[in-house]
Structure 1
Amino acid sequence: MSPVMSRKDLSFEQLSPVQRAAILMMLVGEETAAHVLKAMSPSEVEELGAAMYTVRGVSHETVDAVLDEFFDMLRDQTDIGYGANAYVRNVLNNALGSYKAQSVLSRIKPASSERPIEILDWMDAPAIAELILDEHPQIISLIVASLDFSQAADVLKLLPEDLQPEIVQRVANLTTVQPEALRELEEVMQRKFKANTTLRASQIGGVKAAAKIMNFTRQNMEQRILKEIKKDDKDLMEALQDNMFVFENLIKSDDRALQTLLRGIEQEILVMALKGADGALRSKLLGCMSTRAAANIMDEMDSLGPVRLTAVQQAQKEVISVARRLADEGTITLAGRGGEKMV
């Protein structure tokens, strides 16, 4: 009889599909694995559980091969686009730790991209900030504008405070960036980590992009930056404010977050704010109240009669101010400022 093969001798080719799934289960952590097992039948749980015992000592090379196959399957079977890079990076960091995750990412990250600096999506904010800190503000602005909005905000927070308003202002004034400008950016990136990218005219930056980046900053940082921008360009400051998180964005937020928010709003302000809200948003907010409270609000709105638009806008701004304060405190999470779930 031939000797029994040790676990460490198992190669990728010798693994069964169930054993490959078992390796993935061993990587995702106990809590996630438990959620997966709950969705399986008893026989599937037994088969997968048994397989997990047989793969506990496989080599790092075999684990890497299983992960490579898994991500190849994801790329082939899904059409995930925007936000996928950050999602994959965060999942791997949580599952494997930053050191192992970086090893995997170095093999699976895209070799080329339509965006000139997509490789930065695989780096954390401190690493990016350190990488670009000594560059010209225009180069920094191009890089920040090319990042995911939440990641860009994290990078912005790590830059010197006196530089932050200028970066936001430059991002807001960006429109179509031609290949000539991207070539300069490409040269900067090549000097940093020798990366080649595809050059083409790219639509990055603009007031809306700058406003979305600002949505992910805290109110005190936002107010300081806007105050500095106002000194140079009042119209730009107002345009940024108009495109930042606004009253209408509340419709995207979780009901529990809205319930918490509404408890912190004085009734007369809420009545005025809802007076100018569209029907869908008004219904959603009223639906987050008790039947009696909603009826009282409706009665007060009816008794108000016509109101000035400026009064409605001011009331809505006060609601948003409370919403952002609660979000900054971590009490709620607002859709459009990093997610939709309660914290």
Structure 2
Amino acid sequence: MATLKYEGLTNLQKVAILTVILGEESSSKLFMRLDEEEIAEISREISLLGPIPTEVSERIIEEFYNMVMAKQYIAVGGIDYAKSLLVKALGPEQARKVIDRLIKLLEKSAGFSSLEKMNPQQISKLIQHEHPQTIALILAHLSASRAAEILASLPEELRAEIAVRMANLEEISPEIVKRIAGVLEQKLQSVGSYKMEEYGGVKAVADLLNRMERRIAKQVLENIEVRSPELAVQVRDLMFVFEDILLIDDRGVAEILKRVDKKSLAIALKGSSEELKEKFYRNMSQRAVEMIKEEMEYMGPIRIKDVEKAQHEIVEIVRELEEEGIVSIGGAGGEEYVV
């Protein structure tokens, strides 16, 4: 694996590295403030990271510190005050970069965050009569997935023109962005109680934790338990983890085996209990069992995160089977799962 270099890192990679540097306790608190898509993206980047050179760690910490200080300076005395202090501390060029990045982040969160959770069809009705350049600017300030949903909801004759305008967007004056954001907020207020998509809830938390790395999910759940023991019990009751396959009957396990990649199964079983191994073996031919055991022996020691990744893949297969009505995964607290 190539050595990480600060200059080639994406913002998402920087966040992933910062999360690793902060450690489990601080990172779990950070993750509690993020949505599921953000956690998934960061977790994926963390899983792809190799060794992090000391120089890269130091520069990312420095960048994070500068952004935090810049935000504090702006809150105290405005942008001009922040610029003057940062120029003294960092020099003109570095101060400009920090301020520019922070302004973009503040503009995005201030003017467009409401649209991230609003129903795409409702947004399209709200903005479809605006100038295509304005629509392009609005979509450019949203996440890629949300922008795609809104673009698909707009009239067909507008889609290509808006996409082209988005591709050709260059640097835009912060004043113009702020003005558009203000008009957008007024429109949202005039709509009143616009329909929102369903977000949150105990099941959403359980689903989120099921998709996180086990040790991070465990830390988050422990923190939830400190704040609200009752909520922690509800989340646990809705969570489904790899070992809960023990609660699925043999016919359900046979369905899982039809879809699972055999190498992934070998890796997943490498870190499972003997009881669960026997559960799978019981639903396989003797030859298949021998092949899996040979594969597990041949691969030698496996990193925990690789085992967890393979187990997550199989849990996702179980979820697909549940969505198709082939198995039922209710609470993992003691009920049996039926085909």
- Shorter-chain TM-score tier: 0.3 to 0.5
Q: Structure 2 length as normaliser, TM-score?
A: 0.33
Q: Which has the higher helix share?
A: 2
Normalised by the size of structure 1, how large is the TM-score? 0.33
Task: Name the structure, 1 or 2, with higher relative contact order (CA <8 Å, separation 6+).
Answer: 2
